[in-house]
Amino acid sequence: MTGGPGGTDFPGGPGGGAADAGPGDSTRSVHAGRPPATAYEPSLPGPVFVSHYHLPGEAAGPYLYGRDDNPTWERLEQAISELEAPGDPEVGTAVFASGMAAVAAVLLSQVKAGQTVLLPSDSYQTTRALRERLESYGVSVRLAPTAGDAQLAAVEGASLVWLETPSNPGLDVCDIRRLADAAHAAGALVAVDNTLATPLGQRPLSLGADFSVASGTKALSGHGDLLLGYVSTRDPELAASVRYWRKTVGAIPGPMEAWLAHRSIATFALRVERQSANALALATALLKRPEVSDLRHPGLPTDASHEVASRQMRRFGSVVSFTLPDQAHAERFLAALRMTSEATSFGSIQSTAERRARWGGDAVPPGFVRFSVGIEDPQDIVADVLRALDAAAGA
């Protein structure tokens, strides 16, 4: 796994948050993982397309085979490490072909028959779908919800505790530090799915987690045009095991996808800042709508998760969830939106929304809407949503 700050000399300046020293988030996003300036060379070298390297003599060196290592992956991994744990050279990252490839790499490489995994009962449904695979290998799986740190009561005897905060799609939040401390006292490793928060929203490794896992398909790349995942950790043995898993199952990203993601990181802080502000503006506007119930966004002072989220999150994310009276009402609303695409996933520059129950697998009502707020002007997002709500109510 590649990690640690590279050769970039950052200028001094305000940090990206109260606990940070050094450059701010935009400065770090622009420069992360890029090589030192070299005469006549691009600031971000292009993707390296390779299946094999010229390898004379003994099989030793930095690059042996295209499934093992690629300099394009390494630059992206270095960039992500710098965002996940600024200034910590011990942190390393491995990138994967998708978010679920990264999730599976941790869940399936860190436990064995006879051990127990604790999963959130309200996590991303495809993560929970791995339960059947884990059990087929002789691993016991426990489930407990995210809200109220309910997993705390189930950590005893677990070998791996999986957290997802905020949860997808319900947006519940758990106290990472509290759960990590309890899990470690019980002898368990802790992994946090940080997809919704992003490393610019919260840093699980700094809160005690052993792994920070995310889908780079979402806000990290941010343009809705590629699939990617990653795992970050500061433990060299854990890093080696995850990297070996990637090698043996072949869950590697394409060099073009890795390069596009790295290029996109330059605007990461700008996008996340705008999306978080826009999401809060939309959530605030929805508070006044009588047909909207169960409105959730961790940034709302009235949200059930706001107190815990405020302690561990620096930004509250791009997702707002709410429930309309029934399936038909939600579908009328979605159809009436003019600049918001009806699509799954979240974190893109373009606002998207969907009736989440159409997929099955989540304990949400038929009228539940997950809205991913983009970087459009906030007044336009709010106007589009309010007009669509009016249209849906009047139909």
pLDDT-based confidence at residue 22 (cuts at 50, 70, 90): confident
Region 135-159: mean pLDDT is 98
User: In terms of pLDDT, which residue wins out, 394 or 249?
Assistant: 249
Q: Which CATH number fits domain 2-265: 3.40.640.10, 3.40.50.920, 3.40.190.10, 3.40.30.10?
A: 3.40.640.10
Region 23-37: mean pLDDT is 96
User: In terms of pLDDT, which residue wins out, 14 or 211?
Assistant: 211
Is residue 228 within 8 Å of residue 98, measured between CB atoms? yes
DSSP 323: E
Query: Which pLDDT value is given to residue 1?
Result: 67
pLDDT-based confidence at residue 21 (cuts at 50, 70, 90): low
Report how far residue 166's alpha carbon sits from residue 118's, in angstroms, rounded to the nearest whole number. 17
pLDDT at 46 over 70: yes
Is residue 259 within 8 Å of residue 72, measured between CB atoms? yes
Q: How far is CA 247 from CA 65, 130, 191, in A?
A: 10, 20, 21
**Positive or negative torsion for Cα 200, 205, 209, 213:** positive
Is residue 385 within 8 Å of residue 295, measured between CB atoms? no
Residues 54-88 pLDDT 10s: 988 888 889 999 999 999 999 999 999 999 999 99
pLDDT at 294 over 80: yes
Whether the pTM exceeds 0.85: the reply is yes
Residues 261-286 pLDDT 10s: 999 999 999 999 999 999 999 999 99
Secondary structure (3-state) at 313: coil
Look up residue 159 and give its two tokens. Answer: 């070998």
Query: Which pLDDT value is given to residue 212?
Result: 98
Report how far residue 347's alpha carbon sits from residue 131's, in angstroms, rounded to the nearest whole number. 26
pLDDT at 17 over 70: no
CATH 3.90.1150.10 fits 268-394, yes or no: yes
Query: Which pLDDT value is given to residue 392?
Result: 97
Is residue 298 within 8 Å of residue 306, measured between CB atoms? yes
Region 197-222: mean pLDDT is 98
The proportion of the chain whose per-residue pLDDT surpasses 70, expressed as a percent, equals 94
Report how far residue 353's alpha carbon sits from residue 222's, in angstroms, rounded to the nearest whole number. 15
pLDDT-based confidence at residue 308 (cuts at 50, 70, 90): very high
Report how far residue 204's alpha carbon sits from residue 162's, in angstroms, rounded to the nearest whole number. 12
Residues 86-144 pLDDT 10s: 999 999 999 999 999 999 999 999 999 999 999 999 999 999 999 999 999 999 999 99
Look up residue 142 and give its two tokens. Answer: 């426990």
pLDDT at 9 over 80: no
DSSP E strands, 83-221: 92-96, 116-120, 140-144, 160-164, 189-193, 211-215
Structural domain boundaries in the chain: 2-265, 268-394
